[in-house]
A and B are shown apart, each in its own frame.
Chain A
Amino acid sequence: MNCDVCQENDATVYLTQIVKGKMQKVNLCEECAKQKGVTDPTGFALADALLGIGSDEKMDVSADSLECESCGFSHAEFKKTGRFGCSECYTVFGFGLESLVKAMHKGTLHLGKVPSRYQVTKKYNDQITELKDRLRIAIEDENFEEAARLRDEIKLAEADYITSNESEIE
Protein backbone atom coordinates (compact mmCIF):
# COMPACT_ATOMS: atom_id res chain seq x y z
CA MET A 1 0.00 0.00 0.00
CA ASN A 2 1.33 3.40 -0.97
CA CYS A 3 1.58 6.42 1.30
CA ASP A 4 -1.52 8.61 0.98
CA VAL A 5 0.54 11.79 0.96
CA CYS A 6 3.45 11.21 -1.39
CA GLN A 7 1.83 8.25 -3.22
CA GLU A 8 5.28 6.81 -3.72
CA ASN A 9 6.76 5.06 -0.75
CA ASP A 10 5.24 2.09 1.00
CA ALA A 11 3.07 3.13 3.91
CA THR A 12 4.34 1.91 7.25
CA VAL A 13 2.38 4.18 9.58
CA TYR A 14 -1.33 3.39 9.70
CA LEU A 15 -3.58 5.81 11.49
CA THR A 16 -7.27 5.32 12.19
CA GLN A 17 -9.52 7.80 13.85
CA ILE A 18 -13.24 8.13 14.42
CA VAL A 19 -14.46 11.60 13.56
CA LYS A 20 -18.14 12.37 14.04
CA GLY A 21 -18.89 8.68 13.97
CA LYS A 22 -17.02 8.06 10.72
CA MET A 23 -13.86 6.07 10.54
CA GLN A 24 -10.98 7.69 8.72
CA LYS A 25 -7.85 5.87 7.75
CA VAL A 26 -4.62 7.45 6.69
CA ASN A 27 -1.58 5.49 5.62
CA LEU A 28 1.78 7.20 5.63
CA CYS A 29 5.34 6.34 4.83
CA GLU A 30 7.89 7.04 7.53
CA GLU A 31 9.19 10.18 5.87
CA CYS A 32 5.82 11.81 5.41
CA ALA A 33 4.83 10.87 8.94
CA LYS A 34 7.90 12.65 10.25
CA GLN A 35 7.37 15.60 7.98
CA LYS A 36 3.79 16.01 9.13
CA GLY A 37 4.93 15.62 12.71
CA VAL A 38 2.76 12.63 13.46
CA THR A 39 3.99 11.62 16.88
CA ASP A 40 0.86 11.99 18.90
CA PRO A 41 -2.12 11.39 16.69
CA THR A 42 -4.71 12.16 19.31
CA GLY A 43 -6.53 15.42 19.75
CA PHE A 44 -6.92 16.52 16.14
CA ALA A 45 -8.68 15.34 13.05
CA LEU A 46 -6.01 13.40 11.30
CA ALA A 47 -7.34 13.36 7.81
CA ASP A 48 -8.13 17.04 8.03
CA ALA A 49 -4.65 17.87 9.11
CA LEU A 50 -2.82 15.62 6.74
CA LEU A 51 -4.82 15.51 3.57
CA GLY A 52 -7.18 18.41 3.98
CA ILE A 53 -10.26 16.18 3.80
CA GLY A 54 -13.25 17.75 5.51
CA SER A 55 -14.69 15.16 7.82
CA ASP A 56 -18.16 15.65 6.37
CA GLU A 57 -17.13 15.32 2.77
CA LYS A 58 -16.69 12.04 1.01
CA MET A 59 -13.83 13.20 -1.14
CA ASP A 60 -11.69 16.26 -1.18
CA VAL A 61 -11.85 18.67 -4.10
CA SER A 62 -8.10 18.89 -4.36
CA ALA A 63 -8.10 15.16 -5.02
CA ASP A 64 -9.54 15.77 -8.49
CA SER A 65 -6.14 16.32 -10.01
CA LEU A 66 -4.77 13.16 -8.44
CA GLU A 67 -3.80 10.57 -11.04
CA CYS A 68 -3.24 6.82 -10.85
CA GLU A 69 0.39 6.08 -11.58
CA SER A 70 -0.38 2.75 -13.17
CA CYS A 71 -3.00 3.83 -15.67
CA GLY A 72 -3.17 7.64 -15.65
CA PHE A 73 -6.81 7.70 -14.58
CA SER A 74 -7.78 10.84 -12.66
CA HIS A 75 -10.07 11.28 -9.73
CA ALA A 76 -12.09 13.82 -11.71
CA GLU A 77 -12.74 11.05 -14.26
CA PHE A 78 -14.04 8.79 -11.51
CA LYS A 79 -16.47 11.46 -10.39
CA LYS A 80 -17.69 11.71 -13.97
CA THR A 81 -18.07 8.03 -14.84
CA GLY A 82 -18.36 6.29 -11.47
CA ARG A 83 -15.86 3.75 -12.73
CA PHE A 84 -12.16 3.26 -12.09
CA GLY A 85 -9.34 2.90 -14.61
CA CYS A 86 -7.54 -0.14 -13.20
CA SER A 87 -7.32 -2.22 -10.03
CA GLU A 88 -4.51 -0.01 -8.71
CA CYS A 89 -6.92 2.97 -8.70
CA TYR A 90 -8.60 1.45 -5.64
CA THR A 91 -5.39 2.05 -3.70
CA VAL A 92 -4.62 5.45 -5.20
CA PHE A 93 -8.12 6.80 -4.69
CA GLY A 94 -8.75 4.63 -1.65
CA PHE A 95 -9.28 7.43 0.85
CA GLY A 96 -12.91 8.33 1.31
CA LEU A 97 -13.92 5.35 -0.82
CA GLU A 98 -15.16 3.42 2.16
CA SER A 99 -18.12 5.71 2.83
CA LEU A 100 -19.07 5.53 -0.82
CA VAL A 101 -18.87 1.73 -0.80
CA LYS A 102 -20.82 1.59 2.43
CA ALA A 103 -23.73 3.37 0.78
CA MET A 104 -23.74 0.85 -2.09
CA HIS A 105 -23.32 -2.41 -0.26
CA LYS A 106 -24.27 -4.50 2.72
CA GLY A 107 -20.88 -3.99 4.32
CA THR A 108 -17.39 -2.78 3.51
CA LEU A 109 -15.48 -5.99 4.04
CA HIS A 110 -15.42 -8.83 1.53
CA LEU A 111 -16.61 -12.07 3.12
CA GLY A 112 -17.00 -14.24 0.05
CA LYS A 113 -14.76 -16.34 -2.13
CA VAL A 114 -11.01 -15.71 -2.11
CA PRO A 115 -8.73 -16.83 -4.96
CA SER A 116 -6.43 -19.58 -3.75
CA ARG A 117 -3.30 -17.51 -4.29
CA TYR A 118 -4.63 -14.95 -1.80
CA GLN A 119 -5.64 -17.38 0.96
CA VAL A 120 -2.56 -16.62 3.09
CA THR A 121 -3.15 -12.90 2.67
CA LYS A 122 -6.75 -13.23 3.74
CA LYS A 123 -5.88 -15.30 6.78
CA TYR A 124 -3.27 -12.76 7.78
CA ASN A 125 -5.64 -9.87 7.19
CA ASP A 126 -8.36 -11.44 9.32
CA GLN A 127 -5.89 -12.26 12.07
CA ILE A 128 -4.41 -8.75 12.18
CA THR A 129 -7.84 -7.13 12.09
CA GLU A 130 -8.89 -9.18 15.08
CA LEU A 131 -5.68 -8.56 17.03
CA LYS A 132 -5.82 -4.84 16.38
CA ASP A 133 -9.43 -4.72 17.53
CA ARG A 134 -8.45 -6.46 20.75
CA LEU A 135 -5.49 -4.11 21.14
CA ARG A 136 -7.75 -1.09 20.79
CA ILE A 137 -10.10 -2.43 23.43
CA ALA A 138 -7.20 -3.23 25.75
CA ILE A 139 -5.90 0.34 25.43
CA GLU A 140 -9.35 1.78 26.01
CA ASP A 141 -9.65 -0.34 29.14
CA GLU A 142 -6.15 0.74 30.17
CA ASN A 143 -5.18 -2.90 30.33
CA PHE A 144 -1.58 -2.22 29.33
CA GLU A 145 -0.24 -5.63 30.18
CA GLU A 146 -2.64 -7.21 27.71
CA ALA A 147 -1.93 -4.43 25.19
CA ALA A 148 1.80 -5.10 25.31
CA ARG A 149 1.19 -8.81 24.84
CA LEU A 150 -1.07 -8.13 21.85
CA ARG A 151 1.44 -5.74 20.34
CA ASP A 152 4.05 -8.50 20.45
CA GLU A 153 1.59 -10.93 18.95
CA ILE A 154 0.91 -8.54 16.06
CA LYS A 155 4.64 -8.15 15.44
CA LEU A 156 5.06 -11.90 15.41
CA ALA A 157 2.15 -12.35 13.00
CA GLU A 158 3.62 -9.72 10.70
CA ALA A 159 6.99 -11.40 10.69
CA ASP A 160 5.35 -14.76 9.97
CA TYR A 161 3.40 -13.24 7.14
CA ILE A 162 6.44 -11.65 5.50
CA THR A 163 8.26 -14.96 5.38
CA SER A 164 5.21 -16.84 4.08
CA ASN A 165 4.56 -14.10 1.56
CA GLU A 166 7.71 -14.93 -0.33
CA SER A 167 6.47 -18.41 -1.01
CA GLU A 168 2.89 -17.42 -1.69
CA ILE A 169 2.98 -15.13 -4.69
CA GLU A 170 4.44 -16.70 -7.80
Chain B
Amino acid sequence: MMQFKTILKNPAQWMLSSGPYGEIVISSRVRLARNLRDISFPGWAVEEDRIEVLNRVKPAVENLNEMSGAFSSDLSNLKAVNKQILVERHLISREQAAKAAGSAAIMNRKQTLCVMVNEEDHLRMQSIKAGLSLSDAYKMIDEVDTKLESTLDYAFDNQYGYLTACPTNLGTGMRASAMLHLPGLVLAEQINKVINAVNKIGLAVRGLYGEGTEALGNLFQISNQHTLGEQENEIIARLEKVIRQIIKHEENAREKLYIEKRTVLDDKIGRSYAILRYGHIISTKEALDLLSMLRAGVDLGYFSDDIRALIDVLFMEIQPAHLQFFADRKLGAEERDCLRAEIMCDRLKSLPEPSKFSSNKSNEQSSQED
Protein backbone atom coordinates (compact mmCIF):
# COMPACT_ATOMS: atom_id res chain seq x y z
CA MET B 1 0.00 0.00 0.00
CA MET B 2 1.24 3.42 -0.96
CA GLN B 3 1.88 5.99 1.75
CA PHE B 4 0.36 9.42 1.64
CA LYS B 5 3.83 10.96 1.57
CA THR B 6 4.62 9.03 -1.59
CA ILE B 7 1.71 10.64 -3.35
CA LEU B 8 2.97 14.01 -2.36
CA LYS B 9 6.52 13.46 -3.42
CA ASN B 10 5.46 12.44 -6.89
CA PRO B 11 3.39 14.60 -9.16
CA ALA B 12 0.73 12.75 -11.12
CA GLN B 13 1.86 11.11 -14.34
CA TRP B 14 -0.33 13.35 -16.45
CA MET B 15 1.42 16.44 -15.13
CA LEU B 16 4.82 15.25 -16.22
CA SER B 17 3.92 14.03 -19.65
CA SER B 18 2.63 16.08 -22.51
CA GLY B 19 -0.45 14.86 -24.34
CA PRO B 20 -2.08 15.85 -27.63
CA TYR B 21 -2.55 19.64 -27.88
CA GLY B 22 -0.57 19.92 -24.64
CA GLU B 23 0.10 23.61 -25.23
CA ILE B 24 -3.55 24.42 -24.63
CA VAL B 25 -5.18 21.34 -23.13
CA ILE B 26 -3.65 20.53 -19.76
CA SER B 27 -5.63 17.40 -18.97
CA SER B 28 -8.67 15.29 -19.85
CA ARG B 29 -10.85 13.64 -17.22
CA VAL B 30 -13.75 11.23 -17.41
CA ARG B 31 -15.88 10.49 -14.36
CA LEU B 32 -18.53 7.79 -14.02
CA ALA B 33 -21.22 7.74 -11.32
CA ARG B 34 -22.52 4.35 -10.16
CA ASN B 35 -24.68 3.11 -7.29
CA LEU B 36 -25.53 -0.19 -5.67
CA ARG B 37 -29.05 -1.38 -6.20
CA ASP B 38 -30.35 -2.15 -2.75
CA ILE B 39 -28.87 0.54 -0.49
CA SER B 40 -29.85 4.20 -0.09
CA PHE B 41 -27.73 6.80 -1.87
CA PRO B 42 -24.99 8.23 0.40
CA GLY B 43 -26.74 11.55 1.03
CA TRP B 44 -29.78 9.77 2.47
CA ALA B 45 -28.22 6.60 3.89
CA VAL B 46 -27.75 6.08 7.60
CA GLU B 47 -24.21 5.56 8.84
CA GLU B 48 -24.40 1.77 8.96
CA ASP B 49 -25.58 1.67 5.34
CA ARG B 50 -22.73 3.90 4.28
CA ILE B 51 -20.31 1.58 6.01
CA GLU B 52 -21.96 -1.42 4.36
CA VAL B 53 -21.37 0.23 0.97
CA LEU B 54 -17.75 0.89 1.87
CA ASN B 55 -17.28 -2.73 2.94
CA ARG B 56 -18.61 -3.98 -0.37
CA VAL B 57 -17.03 -1.44 -2.71
CA LYS B 58 -13.59 -0.92 -1.22
CA PRO B 59 -12.33 -4.51 -1.53
CA ALA B 60 -13.78 -4.78 -5.04
CA VAL B 61 -11.82 -1.70 -6.08
CA GLU B 62 -8.62 -2.63 -4.24
CA ASN B 63 -8.59 -6.02 -5.94
CA LEU B 64 -8.42 -4.53 -9.42
CA ASN B 65 -5.13 -5.00 -11.28
CA GLU B 66 -5.23 -1.31 -12.05
CA MET B 67 -5.09 -0.60 -8.35
CA SER B 68 -2.17 -2.77 -7.35
CA GLY B 69 -0.04 -0.86 -4.88
CA ALA B 70 -2.68 1.81 -4.72
CA PHE B 71 -3.20 4.43 -2.07
CA SER B 72 -6.42 3.72 -0.24
CA SER B 73 -7.81 5.52 2.74
CA ASP B 74 -11.00 6.13 4.61
CA LEU B 75 -11.36 9.85 4.53
CA SER B 76 -12.07 9.97 8.23
CA ASN B 77 -8.47 8.82 8.74
CA LEU B 78 -7.02 11.69 6.78
CA LYS B 79 -6.17 15.05 8.27
CA ALA B 80 -8.04 18.04 6.83
CA VAL B 81 -4.90 19.33 5.15
CA ASN B 82 -4.29 15.98 3.46
CA LYS B 83 -7.84 15.88 2.15
CA GLN B 84 -7.33 19.37 0.81
CA ILE B 85 -4.19 18.21 -0.99
CA LEU B 86 -6.22 15.54 -2.77
CA VAL B 87 -8.72 18.22 -3.77
CA GLU B 88 -5.92 20.43 -5.08
CA ARG B 89 -4.76 17.48 -7.18
CA HIS B 90 -8.25 16.95 -8.55
CA LEU B 91 -8.25 13.46 -7.06
CA ILE B 92 -11.27 13.95 -4.84
CA SER B 93 -14.01 16.54 -5.00
CA ARG B 94 -14.52 19.39 -2.58
CA GLU B 95 -17.83 17.79 -1.58
CA GLN B 96 -16.19 14.57 -0.59
CA ALA B 97 -13.52 16.30 1.42
CA ALA B 98 -16.25 17.40 3.80
CA LYS B 99 -18.05 14.05 4.02
CA ALA B 100 -18.32 11.89 7.08
CA ALA B 101 -18.29 8.16 7.96
CA GLY B 102 -17.90 5.57 5.23
CA SER B 103 -16.24 7.81 2.66
CA ALA B 104 -13.04 6.60 1.08
CA ALA B 105 -10.73 7.30 -1.82
CA ILE B 106 -8.62 4.75 -3.67
CA MET B 107 -6.09 5.90 -6.25
CA ASN B 108 -3.42 4.22 -8.32
CA ARG B 109 0.28 4.98 -8.04
CA LYS B 110 0.38 7.15 -11.13
CA GLN B 111 -2.56 9.18 -9.83
CA THR B 112 -4.33 8.69 -13.13
CA LEU B 113 -7.19 6.68 -11.66
CA CYS B 114 -9.25 7.43 -8.58
CA VAL B 115 -12.38 5.87 -7.13
CA MET B 116 -14.33 7.79 -4.52
CA VAL B 117 -16.70 5.87 -2.29
CA ASN B 118 -19.80 7.46 -0.75
CA GLU B 119 -19.56 10.84 -2.30
CA GLU B 120 -22.86 11.98 -3.81
CA ASP B 121 -23.12 8.49 -5.32
CA HIS B 122 -21.84 5.19 -3.97
CA LEU B 123 -19.07 5.18 -6.55
CA ARG B 124 -17.51 8.02 -8.45
CA MET B 125 -14.60 6.82 -10.53
CA GLN B 126 -12.41 8.97 -12.67
CA SER B 127 -9.42 8.79 -14.94
CA ILE B 128 -7.07 11.64 -15.81
CA LYS B 129 -4.82 11.85 -18.87
CA ALA B 130 -2.51 14.53 -20.18
CA GLY B 131 -3.62 16.73 -23.07
CA LEU B 132 -6.72 16.21 -25.17
CA SER B 133 -7.25 12.48 -24.58
CA LEU B 134 -10.91 12.12 -23.70
CA SER B 135 -11.39 8.87 -25.61
CA ASP B 136 -8.35 7.30 -23.96
CA ALA B 137 -9.49 8.49 -20.55
CA TYR B 138 -12.94 7.02 -21.17
CA LYS B 139 -11.47 3.73 -22.32
CA MET B 140 -9.42 3.49 -19.16
CA ILE B 141 -12.32 4.14 -16.79
CA ASP B 142 -14.72 2.02 -18.86
CA GLU B 143 -12.47 -1.00 -18.33
CA VAL B 144 -12.44 -0.42 -14.59
CA ASP B 145 -16.21 -0.04 -14.58
CA THR B 146 -16.72 -3.26 -16.57
CA LYS B 147 -14.57 -5.18 -14.11
CA LEU B 148 -16.44 -3.75 -11.14
CA GLU B 149 -19.88 -4.55 -12.51
CA SER B 150 -19.08 -8.26 -12.35
CA THR B 151 -18.77 -8.07 -8.57
CA LEU B 152 -21.02 -5.14 -7.69
CA ASP B 153 -24.75 -5.09 -8.38
CA TYR B 154 -25.31 -1.69 -9.98
CA ALA B 155 -28.61 0.16 -9.90
CA PHE B 156 -29.68 0.28 -13.54
CA ASP B 157 -32.93 1.04 -15.32
CA ASN B 158 -33.77 0.31 -18.93
CA GLN B 159 -35.16 3.75 -19.57
CA TYR B 160 -32.95 5.92 -17.39
CA GLY B 161 -29.75 3.89 -17.47
CA TYR B 162 -27.45 4.07 -14.45
CA LEU B 163 -29.49 5.44 -11.56
CA THR B 164 -27.83 8.28 -9.67
CA ALA B 165 -28.72 10.31 -6.58
CA CYS B 166 -29.26 13.38 -8.72
CA PRO B 167 -31.30 13.01 -11.92
CA THR B 168 -28.84 15.31 -13.71
CA ASN B 169 -26.39 12.40 -13.84
CA LEU B 170 -28.79 9.72 -15.11
CA GLY B 171 -28.11 7.59 -18.15
CA THR B 172 -24.41 7.19 -18.75
CA GLY B 173 -23.50 8.76 -15.39
CA MET B 174 -20.57 10.18 -17.32
CA ARG B 175 -19.00 13.59 -16.99
CA ALA B 176 -16.14 14.15 -19.42
CA SER B 177 -14.10 17.30 -19.05
CA ALA B 178 -10.94 18.94 -20.29
CA MET B 179 -8.84 21.57 -18.54
CA LEU B 180 -7.95 24.30 -21.01
CA HIS B 181 -5.39 27.08 -20.62
CA LEU B 182 -6.77 30.06 -22.51
CA PRO B 183 -4.65 33.17 -21.83
CA GLY B 184 -5.01 34.32 -25.45
CA LEU B 185 -8.78 34.45 -25.36
CA VAL B 186 -8.74 36.13 -21.96
CA LEU B 187 -6.25 38.82 -23.03
CA ALA B 188 -8.12 39.40 -26.28
CA GLU B 189 -11.32 39.73 -24.22
CA GLN B 190 -13.03 37.06 -26.31
CA ILE B 191 -13.44 34.56 -23.52
CA ASN B 192 -17.00 35.50 -22.55
CA LYS B 193 -18.12 35.16 -26.13
CA VAL B 194 -16.64 31.67 -26.23
CA ILE B 195 -18.17 30.69 -22.87
CA ASN B 196 -21.62 31.86 -23.95
CA ALA B 197 -21.40 29.97 -27.22
CA VAL B 198 -20.28 26.80 -25.44
CA ASN B 199 -23.07 27.08 -22.87
CA LYS B 200 -25.65 27.37 -25.61
CA ILE B 201 -24.82 23.98 -27.05
CA GLY B 202 -25.31 22.10 -23.79
CA LEU B 203 -21.75 22.11 -22.50
CA ALA B 204 -20.58 23.66 -19.25
CA VAL B 205 -17.58 25.91 -18.61
CA ARG B 206 -16.24 26.03 -15.08
CA GLY B 207 -13.26 27.35 -13.17
CA LEU B 208 -10.23 25.48 -11.87
CA TYR B 209 -12.06 23.55 -9.17
CA GLY B 210 -15.39 22.83 -10.81
CA GLU B 211 -18.82 24.17 -10.18
CA GLY B 212 -18.98 27.70 -8.87
CA THR B 213 -15.24 28.31 -8.79
CA GLU B 214 -13.33 31.16 -10.32
CA ALA B 215 -11.31 30.78 -13.49
CA LEU B 216 -7.91 31.31 -11.89
CA GLY B 217 -4.77 31.28 -13.96
CA ASN B 218 -6.79 31.43 -17.20
CA LEU B 219 -7.72 27.79 -16.65
CA PHE B 220 -11.16 26.61 -17.73
CA GLN B 221 -12.88 23.25 -17.50
CA ILE B 222 -15.22 22.32 -20.31
CA SER B 223 -17.58 19.41 -19.79
CA ASN B 224 -20.81 17.80 -20.98
CA GLN B 225 -24.00 18.75 -19.19
CA HIS B 226 -26.31 16.06 -20.56
CA THR B 227 -25.67 12.47 -19.54
CA LEU B 228 -28.85 10.78 -20.81
CA GLY B 229 -30.08 10.23 -24.34
CA GLU B 230 -26.71 9.85 -26.05
CA GLN B 231 -24.03 7.18 -26.14
CA GLU B 232 -20.78 7.78 -24.28
CA ASN B 233 -18.71 8.01 -27.45
CA GLU B 234 -21.16 10.48 -28.99
CA ILE B 235 -20.93 12.74 -25.96
CA ILE B 236 -17.16 12.57 -26.09
CA ALA B 237 -16.98 13.17 -29.84
CA ARG B 238 -19.20 16.25 -29.54
CA LEU B 239 -17.19 17.60 -26.63
CA GLU B 240 -13.92 16.97 -28.41
CA LYS B 241 -15.15 18.71 -31.55
CA VAL B 242 -16.02 21.82 -29.56
CA ILE B 243 -12.69 21.73 -27.73
CA ARG B 244 -10.84 21.57 -31.04
CA GLN B 245 -12.68 24.69 -32.14
CA ILE B 246 -11.76 26.46 -28.92
CA ILE B 247 -8.13 25.42 -29.46
CA LYS B 248 -8.29 26.99 -32.92
CA HIS B 249 -9.72 30.21 -31.47
CA GLU B 250 -7.07 30.29 -28.75
CA GLU B 251 -4.30 29.76 -31.32
CA ASN B 252 -5.68 32.57 -33.45
CA ALA B 253 -6.00 34.88 -30.46
CA ARG B 254 -2.39 34.17 -29.44
CA GLU B 255 -1.12 34.72 -32.96
CA LYS B 256 -3.01 37.99 -33.24
CA LEU B 257 -1.61 39.20 -29.94
CA TYR B 258 1.86 38.17 -31.01
CA ILE B 259 1.61 40.08 -34.24
CA GLU B 260 -0.45 43.09 -33.26
CA LYS B 261 0.28 43.60 -29.57
CA ARG B 262 3.77 42.27 -29.33
CA THR B 263 4.96 44.90 -26.85
CA VAL B 264 2.03 44.22 -24.52
CA LEU B 265 2.83 40.53 -24.64
CA ASP B 266 6.57 41.12 -24.08
CA ASP B 267 5.67 43.30 -21.13
CA LYS B 268 3.26 40.82 -19.50
CA ILE B 269 5.62 37.90 -19.86
CA GLY B 270 8.62 39.96 -18.76
CA ARG B 271 6.83 41.24 -15.66
CA SER B 272 5.58 37.75 -14.77
CA TYR B 273 9.12 36.44 -15.05
CA ALA B 274 10.45 39.27 -12.90
CA ILE B 275 7.90 38.89 -10.13
CA LEU B 276 8.28 35.12 -10.04
CA ARG B 277 12.06 35.44 -9.83
CA TYR B 278 12.25 38.38 -7.45
CA GLY B 279 8.92 38.69 -5.65
CA HIS B 280 8.75 37.91 -1.95
CA ILE B 281 5.01 37.93 -1.16
CA ILE B 282 2.74 36.26 -3.71
CA SER B 283 -0.90 35.20 -3.19
CA THR B 284 -2.37 32.06 -4.80
CA LYS B 285 -4.38 34.07 -7.28
CA GLU B 286 -1.42 36.19 -8.32
CA ALA B 287 0.83 33.14 -8.56
CA LEU B 288 -1.62 31.33 -10.82
CA ASP B 289 -1.88 34.36 -13.08
CA LEU B 290 1.90 34.75 -13.24
CA LEU B 291 2.44 31.06 -13.95
CA SER B 292 -0.24 31.28 -16.62
CA MET B 293 1.71 34.02 -18.40
CA LEU B 294 4.92 32.03 -18.03
CA ARG B 295 3.23 29.02 -19.61
CA ALA B 296 1.97 31.21 -22.45
CA GLY B 297 5.58 32.40 -22.78
CA VAL B 298 6.74 28.81 -23.24
CA ASP B 299 4.08 28.18 -25.88
CA LEU B 300 5.09 31.33 -27.76
CA GLY B 301 8.79 30.56 -27.67
CA TYR B 302 9.97 32.99 -24.98
CA PHE B 303 11.22 30.07 -22.90
CA SER B 304 12.29 26.56 -23.80
CA ASP B 305 9.64 23.84 -24.06
CA ASP B 306 11.04 21.69 -21.29
CA ILE B 307 9.89 23.94 -18.47
CA ARG B 308 6.20 23.44 -19.28
CA ALA B 309 5.99 20.42 -16.98
CA LEU B 310 7.73 22.36 -14.19
CA ILE B 311 5.11 25.11 -14.50
CA ASP B 312 2.27 22.59 -14.40
CA VAL B 313 3.70 21.08 -11.23
CA LEU B 314 4.04 24.55 -9.70
CA PHE B 315 0.38 25.28 -10.53
CA MET B 316 -0.37 22.56 -8.01
CA GLU B 317 2.42 22.94 -5.46
CA ILE B 318 1.84 26.60 -4.69
CA GLN B 319 -1.71 25.98 -3.50
CA PRO B 320 -2.45 26.39 0.23
CA ALA B 321 -2.61 22.75 1.39
CA HIS B 322 0.46 21.74 -0.61
CA LEU B 323 2.40 24.60 0.99
CA GLN B 324 1.37 23.54 4.48
CA PHE B 325 2.45 20.00 3.77
CA PHE B 326 5.77 21.28 2.45
CA ALA B 327 6.31 23.40 5.58
CA ASP B 328 5.04 20.53 7.75
CA ARG B 329 2.99 22.89 9.89
CA LYS B 330 -0.03 25.12 9.75
CA LEU B 331 0.72 28.41 8.04
CA GLY B 332 -1.06 31.74 8.22
CA ALA B 333 -2.04 33.45 4.98
CA GLU B 334 0.97 35.79 5.07
CA GLU B 335 3.41 32.99 5.79
CA ARG B 336 1.95 31.04 2.87
CA ASP B 337 2.40 33.99 0.52
CA CYS B 338 6.07 34.25 1.52
CA LEU B 339 6.75 30.54 1.25
CA ARG B 340 5.00 30.45 -2.12
CA ALA B 341 7.26 33.20 -3.47
CA GLU B 342 10.30 31.42 -2.05
CA ILE B 343 9.44 28.09 -3.67
CA MET B 344 8.78 29.60 -7.07
CA CYS B 345 11.95 31.67 -6.92
CA ASP B 346 13.93 28.55 -6.07
CA ARG B 347 12.39 26.37 -8.78
CA LEU B 348 12.77 29.00 -11.44
CA LYS B 349 16.21 30.27 -10.46
CA SER B 350 17.97 28.74 -13.46
CA LEU B 351 15.31 29.86 -15.91
CA PRO B 352 16.96 32.25 -18.41
CA GLU B 353 15.36 35.58 -19.20
CA PRO B 354 12.57 35.51 -21.80
CA SER B 355 14.12 35.59 -25.25
CA LYS B 356 12.22 37.78 -27.64
CA PHE B 357 13.62 36.92 -31.01
CA SER B 358 15.41 33.63 -30.95
CA SER B 359 12.72 30.95 -31.04
CA ASN B 360 11.50 29.00 -34.05
CA LYS B 361 7.97 29.77 -33.26
CA SER B 362 8.40 33.51 -33.49
CA ASN B 363 10.23 33.18 -36.82
CA GLU B 364 7.48 30.99 -38.11
CA GLN B 365 4.82 33.40 -37.08
CA SER B 366 6.50 36.54 -38.32
CA SER B 367 7.14 34.90 -41.68
CA GLN B 368 3.44 34.17 -41.90
CA GLU B 369 2.89 37.85 -41.48
CA ASP B 370 5.26 38.63 -44.35
To the question of whether A and B form a pair in one complex, the answer is: yes
Contacts of A86 in B (CB 8 A): 39-41, 44, 155
Contacts of B259 in A (CB 8 A): none
Does residue A118 face the partner (Cβ distance < 8 Å to B)?
Answer: yes
- Min CB distance, B123 to chain A, in Å? 13
- Min CB distance, A45 to chain B, in Å? 22
- Chain A residues 80-117 with CB under 8 Å of chain B are 81-87, 90, 97, 100-101, 104-117
Does residue B20 face the partner (Cβ distance < 8 Å to A)?
Answer: no
Q: Are A81 and B158 in contact (CB under 8 A)?
A: no
Highest count of chain A CB atoms <10 Å: which of B149, B165, B226, B228: B228
Contacts of A100 in B (CB 8 A): 167
Given known pairs A87-B37, A106-B229, A106-B230, the reply for A114 and B156 (CB within 8 Å) is yes
Q: Are B44 and A71 in contact (CB under 8 A)?
A: yes
Q: Are A116 and B168 in contact (CB under 8 A)?
A: no
Does residue A121 face the partner (Cβ distance < 8 Å to B)?
Answer: yes
B contact patch SS: loop
Query: How long is the Cα–Cα vector from A90 to B120 in the complex, in angstroms?
Result: 16
Given known pairs A71-B40, A86-B39, the reply for A115 and B154 (CB within 8 Å) is yes
Does residue A125 face the partner (Cβ distance < 8 Å to B)?
Answer: yes
Does residue A122 face the partner (Cβ distance < 8 Å to B)?
Answer: yes
Q: Are A111 and B231 in contact (CB under 8 A)?
A: yes
Q: Are A101 and B35 in contact (CB under 8 A)?
A: no
Contacts of A113 in B (CB 8 A): 142, 145, 172, 231-232
- Min CB distance, A133 to chain B, in Å? 15
Query: How long is the Cα–Cα vector from A55 to B149 in the complex, in angstroms?
Result: 39
Does residue B321 face the partner (Cβ distance < 8 Å to A)?
Answer: no
- Chain A residues 104-160 with CB under 8 Å of chain B are 104-118, 121-122, 125
Contact count band on B = 35 or more
Contact count band on A = 20 to 34
User: Which B residue sits closest to A78, measured CB to CB?
Assistant: B167
Query: How long is the Cα–Cα vector from A97 to B231 in the complex, in angstroms?
Result: 21
Query: How long is the Cα–Cα vector from A144 to B171 in the complex, in angstroms?
Result: 36
Query: How long is the Cα–Cα vector from A93 to B199 in the complex, in angstroms?
Result: 30
Say which residue of A85, A104, A110, A125 sits within 8 Å of B167 (CB atoms): A104
Does residue B202 face the partner (Cβ distance < 8 Å to A)?
Answer: yes
Contacts of B276 in A (CB 8 A): none
Contacts of B155 in A (CB 8 A): 86-87
Query: How long is the Cα–Cα vector from A86 to B35 in the complex, in angstroms?
Result: 9
- Min CB distance, B168 to chain A, in Å? 5
Does residue B6 face the partner (Cβ distance < 8 Å to A)?
Answer: no
Query: How long is the Cα–Cα vector from A114 to B146 in the complex, in angstroms?
Result: 10
Q: Are B44 and A115 in contact (CB under 8 A)?
A: no
Does residue B43 face the partner (Cβ distance < 8 Å to A)?
Answer: yes
- Min CB distance, A123 to chain B, in Å? 10
- Min CB distance, A109 to chain B, in Å? 6
Query: How long is the Cα–Cα vector from A46 to B120 in the complex, in angstroms?
Result: 36
Contact mask B155-178 → A, CB, 8 Å, 1/0?
111111111011110111010000
Given known pairs A82-B166, A111-B230, A116-B150, the reply for A106 and B156 (CB within 8 Å) is no
Does residue B227 face the partner (Cβ distance < 8 Å to A)?
Answer: yes
Q: Are B170 and A101 in contact (CB under 8 A)?
A: yes
User: Which B residue sits closest to A77, measured CB to CB?
Assistant: B44
Q: Are A112 and B230 in contact (CB under 8 A)?
A: yes
User: Which B residue sits closest to A73, measured CB to CB?
Assistant: B44
Given known pairs A109-B229, A112-B174, A116-B149, the reply for A85 and B41 (CB within 8 Å) is yes
User: Which A residue sits closest to B159, measured CB to CB?
Assistant: A109
Q: Are B41 and A84 in contact (CB under 8 A)?
A: yes
Q: Are B166 and A115 in contact (CB under 8 A)?
A: no
Contacts of B41 in A (CB 8 A): 83-87
Q: Are B166 and A110 in contact (CB under 8 A)?
A: no
Contacts of B44 in A (CB 8 A): 71, 73, 83-86
Chain A to chain B: the 7 pairs with minimum beta-carbon distance, closest first: A107-B229, A110-B161, A87-B155, A106-B229, A105-B228, A85-B44, A112-B172
Which residues of B line the A interface, CB within 8 A?
35, 37-41, 43-44, 120, 142, 145-146, 149-150, 153-163, 165-168, 170-172, 174, 202, 226-232
Which residues of A line the B interface, CB within 8 A?
70-71, 73, 81-87, 90, 97, 100-101, 104-118, 121-122, 125
